């Protein structure tokens, strides 16, 4: 039986580390404390949407954020009553109505979305809460940063809508001192200043995701959206003691001894150098082990960075290891879809012994049980 193990103490530690960094922020003019939004998209970054959301709430994260209507509704049906921000702007009236009826804070990022929200507001007896999304160069959701006239006109049209926040999203905050990230930030600040000149004062503004929160403390503003940093698996330098969350737990199903020069696994990529005791476990790449996310990179500098990362990853994969009885053992042969082999030569390991594998929870099959320990 396989399960994804989530160490509650380690997860609680990561949340505290991030909260401690946020406490360094100066309170605003209204004495409002810094806000952290817990992003729980992607099945709670693999930790289980409902379980992870409730854990964040129990540990002082009072606002959650999702990427789809389905995620938002699942959380409401699970009994969660805290604020939930829908990060995806939509002009689909049916979706907007569903979100509003379930007390979800919507995102408005276009003229079409503005008009759709205005139409819904006339037909529904609920206060609509919203954040405005600004596209500062990501090219996805949001009003274009330099179309101030449209932004101002749209917000003023929404006079009966509670505009509680305004935000943007970085595309390259994984690297420190990046000129493009600085440019995006400056564009966002210019939008905020332009709104103030037009007598529009929105109280909450945020642009930092997890990498930016760690790499650019000067850009924290008064709110940040934290996802991967809580898992200790953020694409940024981790020098603040974040712990990696997520281990696959399974059992050894078979043990055999094979002679020297014996093939292990697909493609004949591994042959034993001596008589070898082999353990078989029912975990493979379909379970999320040894999986990396493909990236499309176009800039030459990013290709170089990607190449460096790939070389490091290759070296790591060349000596994949698992943990059995508190000791590391090598994975041998190519990892299969649902199985792999482990060299346990010289050990007294037996069938049914527990095996732990380091995995990114985001890649772990959603059908595998999540176990908080």
Catalytic residues: 41, 266
Structure tokens at 285: 């790449």
Nearest to 43 by CA among 369, 341, 319, 358: 369
CB 213 within 8 A of CB 20: no
CB 65 within 8 A of CB 85: yes
Is residue 256 classed as helix, strand or coil in its secondary structure? strand
CB 169 within 8 A of CB 137: no
Nearest to 250 by CA among 352, 363, 138: 352
Instruction: Report CA-CA distances (Å) from 365 to 4, 14, 50, 323.
Output: 9, 24, 16, 20
Burial class (CB in 10 A: 0-12, 13-18, 19+), 253: middle
CB 3 within 8 A of CB 249: yes
Structure tokens at 127: 């206060």
What does 301-322 look like in DSSP terms, one character per residue?
HHHHHHHHHHHHHHHHHTT-EE
Partners of residue 254 on adjacent β-strands: 280
d(CA 11, CA 373) in angstroms, rounded, equals 10
Burial class (CB in 10 A: 0-12, 13-18, 19+), 192: middle
């Amino acid at each position: 039986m396989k399960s994804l193990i989530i160490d509650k103490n380690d997860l609680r530690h990561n949340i505290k580390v991030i909260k401690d960094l946020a406490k360094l922020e100066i309170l605003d003019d209204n004495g409002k404390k810094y806000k952290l939004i817990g992003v729980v998209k992607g099945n709670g970054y693999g930790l289980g949407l409902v379980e992870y959301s409730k854990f964040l709430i129990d540990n002082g994260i009072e606002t959650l954020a999702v990427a789809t209507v389905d995620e938002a509704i699942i959380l409401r049906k699970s009994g969660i009553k805290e604020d939930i921000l829908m990060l995806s702007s939509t002009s689909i009236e049916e979706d907007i109505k569903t979100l509003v009826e379930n007390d979800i804070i919507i995102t408005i990022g276009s003229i079409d979305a503005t008009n759709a929200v205005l139409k819904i507001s006339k037909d529904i007896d609920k206060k609509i809460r919203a954040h405005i999304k600004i596209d500062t160069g990501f090219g996805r959701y949001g009003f274009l940063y330099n179309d101030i006239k449209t932004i101002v006109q749209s917000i003023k049209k929404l006079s009966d809508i509670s505009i509680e926040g305004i935000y943007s999203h970085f595309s390259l905050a994984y690297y420190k001192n990046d000129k493009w990230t600085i440019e995006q930030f400056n564009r966002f600040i210019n939008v905020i200043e332009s709104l103030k000149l037009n007598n529009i004062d929105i109280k909450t503004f945020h642009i930092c995701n997890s990498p930016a929160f760690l790499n650019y403390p000067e850009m924290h503003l008064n709110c940040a959206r934290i996802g991967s940093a809580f898992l200790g698996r953020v694409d940024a330098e981790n020098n603040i003691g974040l712990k990696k969350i997520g281990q696959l737990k399974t059992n050894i199903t078979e043990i055999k001894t094979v002679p020297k020069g014996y093939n292990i696994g697909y493609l004949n990529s591994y042959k034993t150098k001596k008589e070898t005791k082999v353990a078989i476990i029912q975990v493979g790449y379909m379970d999320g082990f040894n999986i990396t996310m493909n990236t499309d990179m176009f800039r030459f500098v990013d290709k170089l960075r990607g190449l460096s990362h790939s070389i490091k990853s290759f070296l790591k994969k060349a000596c994949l290891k698992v943990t059995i009885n508190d000791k590391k053992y090598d994975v041998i042969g190519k990892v299969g879809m649902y199985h792999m082999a482990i060299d346990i030569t010289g050990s007294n390991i037996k069938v049914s012994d527990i095996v732990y594998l380091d995995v990114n929870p985001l890649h772990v099959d959603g059908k595998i049980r999540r176990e908080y320990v």
